[in-house]
Amino acid sequence: MAINRRNFLAATGAGAAMAALGVRTSSAQAAYPNRPITLVVPWGAGGGTDATARSIAALMEKELKQPVAVVNRTGGSGVVGHSAIATADPDGYTIGMVTVEIAMMHHQGLTQLSPADYTPLALLMSDPPAIHVKADGPYKDLKTLADAIKAAPPGKIKASGTGQGGIWHIGLIGWLQAMGLKFDHVAWVPSNGSAPAMQDLAAGGLDLVCCSAPEGRALAEAGKTKTIVLMSASRNPVFPNVPTLKEAMGIDYTAGAWRGLAAPKNLPANVTAALLKAIDESFKSKEFNEFAESRGFGKLYYPGAEFAKFMDSESKRMGEVIKALQRA
């Protein structure tokens, strides 16, 4: 296998640089990992992606017997960090957390980077969109909200949750289209993330907010807002009273803001295997389960090739919605 890989590289690379890379890979193959690993996070310290990365890094450390250091590479709305992962040496010593934005940004013309620029390792989390309404407002459940939306003229009902064309906007569009409505039947009010949108919902400035259930948790517990639906295949044990879209309306539509681990393209097969094994053990560990549960994060595990397939189909689906949005 090792020899095949080297022959392959020598044949396609046809240059001193590639040959050198081949030699270096083979020396790394001696005992991977033999030095600390860097895990790049494209988002800031303290956020959900950062917390997931730090949690899995601490567990992988035990499996790989080498330190796994989390580095936040922020800037450029996530482009900078994602590009840092894709352009690192594919030696297994730089891996990173890729998020749903990687399947969206290239359609939006923000970057050339796409899922094809990575060696997918494993999908870890997917948070489905949830719909939140004001607790003392006119909508007591999804049914009343859906009826009100259908009855209202286009653009009357106002929703928010993230920026224009962000993941929660796309999640909402999916639901509207599944109900046979146009994607802009509900007007989207762009916001800088879910926190200001939830605040504005509580202040009475919006009709509904579409963002993940954990992001609305504190306000829901305070009795200011309520979460009426989860666009996922099954209920979340942290929010046992929130029905899925299928249960509430019989609509079979799911979506999610996902995050997973990936490495630069052309990662040697034995390194991929070693990493996958460590990720597998870490994902199944009690600690990781407790972490996901305490935060209310939706776990979803697609190792290796399955993650590649998943990213591909996500990219296609996002592309269609984003094109429709851009034409409008």
Minimum distance of another protein from residue 195's CB (angstroms): 5
Pick from 145, 153, 180, 159: nearest CA to 251: 180
Q: Where are the beta strands (DSSP E) in 23-93?
A: 37-41, 68-72
Minimum distance of another protein from residue 69's CB (angstroms): 8
Please give the Cα distance from 207 to 171 (Å, whole number): 16
Q: Nearer Cβ to another protein, position 89 or 200?
A: 200
Please give the Cα distance from 118 to 129 (Å, whole number): 26
Please give the Cα distance from 57 to 279 (Å, whole number): 9
Minimum distance of another protein from residue 214's CB (angstroms): 8
Q: Nearer Cβ to another protein, position 9 or 125?
A: 125
Minimum distance of another protein from residue 187's CB (angstroms): 6
Q: Nearer Cβ to another protein, position 139 or 302?
A: 139
Residues in contact with another protein by CB under 8 A are 44-48, 50-51, 54, 58, 70-77, 79-80, 83, 108-111, 155, 158, 160, 163-166, 187, 189-192, 195-196, 198-200, 202-206, 217-219, 221-224, 294-295
Minimum distance of another protein from residue 213's CB (angstroms): 12
CA distances 310 to 178, 187, 196, 267, Å, are: 21, 29, 31, 19
Q: Nearer Cβ to another protein, position 46 or 180?
A: 46
* DSSP string across 142-183: HHHHHHHHHHSPTT-SEEESSSTT-HHHHHHHHHHHHTT--T
Are the CB atoms for 96 and 41 separated by under 8 Å? yes
Q: Nearer Cβ to another protein, position 50 or 314?
A: 50
